[in-house]
Amino acid sequence: MNDAKDTAVALDHVSKAFGQKQVLEDITFAVAHKEALCVLGRSGIGKSVTLKLIIALVKPDIGHIWIDGEDITQLQGQELSRVRRKMGFLFQNGALFDFLNLHDNLALPLRRLTPKSEQEIEEIIDRVLHEVGLGGDKEKMPNELSGGMTKRAGLARALALEPEILLVDEPSSGLDRITASEIDDLLLQQKPHMTIIMVSHDVHGARRICDRFAVIDQGRLAAIGKPQDLEHDENETVRKLVAEKYDVES
Amino acid sequence: MSEKRANPLTKSLERIGSGALFALRVIRDAFRAPFEVFYLLLEVADQGWRSLPLIVSSGLALGLVMTLHTRNVLIKFGASAWIPSLQSISFFVEIGPLLAALLVAGRVGAGMGASLAEMRATEQIDAIEALSVDSFKLLVVPRVVACVLVLPLLTTFMDFCGVVSGFLSEHFLSHLSLQLYLTRAFREVEWSNFIPPTIKTAVFGFIIGTVSCFFGYTTNEGAEGVRKAATNSVVVSSVLIIIADVILVKIIFFLFPENAV
């Protein structure tokens, strides 16, 4: 992959198996700086694994993953941490630390990974929580938050370190359409400032946020391109995944 | 066919090896900066303070029952004056350390295993790693170190409660005064009867913390993993504590020969 250094994220012939099950096979795609890409596919085909491969929570069996020109599969320790700091991750269920309140969930990475003073940290927390509409909830524990608030809080934590790349796993899962739309609005606000790679089943929301779709089918990259182009793809699964829900809603 | 039969054994050996490496990593990381002092203090308060009611009530009950059982036998042999000594030495040397460890394995071990497994299932551990924070140092090391620090203290409470309830029992049954009870209770007790057995509970604490964190931190089976982690933490910790107790008693006898007499 010669152009890997010019892209924000690039997967180069990546394969991953868990035990006997081959989840991803020979996946290759690249995401440009400030581009938003949505990874689509049927349930359990490895979409979330793709995000975890990008941030090196899971290592590929074969292939390379380039983040801003650096092969993250070859990095360990401090070097891996340095590259990871370029990325923020919004997990499917927020993954807030249940032993810390909302304020401390955001303060934890800021205190450990930045030389900022306590006053600067407080300012960042206030600003980010205000952005996601949780300005008055910073003393709440995660179990006091609703599903939508948890997603917002997870997004706030991902944004607190001002990442260059935002990885988003199912931002609308388990939420009503209005709340899901509010989360999409927050992601849209971030879009001009960072690269976004999103996994979603909500094609309507994904069309609002993402420039391109990558469709994974049976472990392989079935298609990648603009949504309107993929609607006419020869692969039926691709057409259904990209268009079905959109058609119903429209 | 033979490969299929060998699998459970291979898996068990792999698990034991992983556990041993996990324990070595705990020891290495416990002495490596940054030190998670805040989270260590939280764990000490959680494990110690919240275990105290269980330890105190168990110590009082066991001390009472033990006196009731032993006094009839000792009175038959005309050795009723030895009841306080028997009570104190039994608690200091074996009952206090072992019972405190088994109770903590049940209360704290199961809780640690389940909470870490739940954090794994809800991707909290992945989230910590994604933030470039060392989840092992943040979640595992403070829990294990807290166990090591807390168990000797809880054992001392257990010993104290056993002696107190022994006195209360004797006082109500034979009107023995506190002064005479204490004199008899500590007449035969040496520091070597108290300090080495109490310190050995630090090893029990290491076993409870490491085993529980191992099962919780390394699970990857969702809700079922939480249940397995809680159960395995208690069962494996308890078995290892008993095995370690046998070994440590022999070591104490070797280092303090007067204890073996």
Identify the pLDDT of residue B260.
Answer: 64
Task: State whether B126 and A57 contact (CB < 8 Å).
Answer: yes
Query: How far is B147 from B101, CA to CA, in rounded Å?
Result: 10
Average pLDDT, chain A: 89
Chain B partners within 8 Å of A80 (Cβ):
132
Nearest-Cα distance to chain A for B106, in Å, is: 21
Cα dihedral A165, A169, A170, A172 in deg (nearest 10): -50
Query: How far is B141 from B5, CA to CA, in rounded Å?
Result: 37
Residue A182's pLDDT band, with cuts at 50, 70 and 90, is confident
Q: Phi and psi at residue B91, in whole multiples of 5°? A: -70, -45
3-state per-residue secondary structure call for B179-198? HHHHHHHHHCCCHHHHHHHH
Pairwise pLDDT comparison (B67 vs A244), residue with the higher score: B67
pTM value is: 0.86
Does residue A129 belong to any structural domain of this protein?
yes
Does residue A210 belong to any structural domain of this protein?
no
Query: How far is A233 from A229, CA to CA, in rounded Å?
Result: 7
pLDDT, one tens digit per residue, over B195-209 is 999 999 999 999 999
Query: How far is B139 from B151, CA to CA, in rounded Å?
Result: 19
Does residue A214 belong to any structural domain of this protein?
no
Structural domain total, chain B: 1
Average pLDDT, integer, range A228-235 = 86
Residues 6+ apart with CB under 8 A from B163: B63, B87, B88, B91, B185
| % of chain B surpassing 70 pLDDT | 97
Does residue B80 belong to any structural domain of this protein?
yes
Average pLDDT, integer, range A167-191 = 87
Q: Which two tokens stand for residue A157?
A: 């934590």
Nearest to A15 by CA among A57, A46, A40, A55: A46
Nearest to A228 by CA among A245, A209, A213: A213
Interior CA angle at B261 toward B242 and B55, to 5°? 40
| % of chain A surpassing 70 pLDDT | 95
Looking at A136-140, A243-247, B246-250, which range is the least confident one?
Answer: A243-247
Structural domain total, chain A: 1
Nearest-Cα distance to chain A for B204, in Å, is: 26
Does residue A172 belong to any structural domain of this protein?
no
Q: Find the DSSP H helices in B77-140.
A: 83-90, 96-104, 110-121, 124-130, 135
Residues 6+ apart with CB under 8 A from A91: A154, A169, B123, B126, B127
Does residue A116 belong to any structural domain of this protein?
yes
Query: For chain A, what is the total number of helices (H) and then of strands (E)?
Result: 9, 10
Chain A interface, mutation test: which of B32, B36, B123, most A Cβ atoms within 10 Å?
Answer: B123
pLDDT, one tens digit per residue, over A186-229 is 899 889 999 999 998 888 889 989 999 999 998 999 999 998 88
- For residue A64, what is the enclosing H or E element? strand A62-67
Does residue B12 belong to any structural domain of this protein?
no
Does residue A216 belong to any structural domain of this protein?
no
Does residue B8 belong to any structural domain of this protein?
no
Query: How far is B60 from A152, CA to CA, in rounded Å?
Result: 50
Chain A partners within 8 Å of B131 (Cβ):
84, 108-109, 113, 157, 161
- For residue A66, what is the enclosing H or E element? strand A62-67
Task: State whether B123 and A91 contact (CB < 8 Å).
Answer: yes
Identify the pLDDT of residue A250.
Answer: 41
Query: How far is A72 from A79, CA to CA, in rounded Å?
Result: 9
- A88: helix, strand or coil: strand
pLDDT, one tens digit per residue, over B96-134 is 999 999 999 999 999 999 999 999 999 999 999 999 889
Residues of A with CB under 8 A from a CB of B: 52, 55, 57, 80-82, 84-85, 87, 89, 91-93, 95-99, 108-109, 112-113, 157, 161
For residue A81, the chain B residue with the least C-alpha distance is B132
Identify the pLDDT of residue A19.
Answer: 84
Identify the pLDDT of residue A1.
Answer: 53
The residue to which tokens 């394969």 are assigned = A15
Average pLDDT, integer, range B68-87 = 86
**What residue numbers bound the domain in which A119 lies?**
98-162
Does residue B32 belong to any structural domain of this protein?
no
Identify the pLDDT of residue B3.
Answer: 44
Nearest-Cα distance to chain B for A93, in Å, is: 7
Nearest to A104 by CA among A124, A89, A88, A125: A125
**What residue numbers bound the domain in which B167 lies?**
39-255
Query: How far is B160 from B59, CA to CA, in rounded Å?
Result: 8
Nearest to B207 by CA among B181, B180, B241: B241
Please check whether residue B192 is in contact with residue B225, taking contact to mean a CB–CB distance below 8 angstroms.
Answer: no
ipTM of the shown complex: 0.87
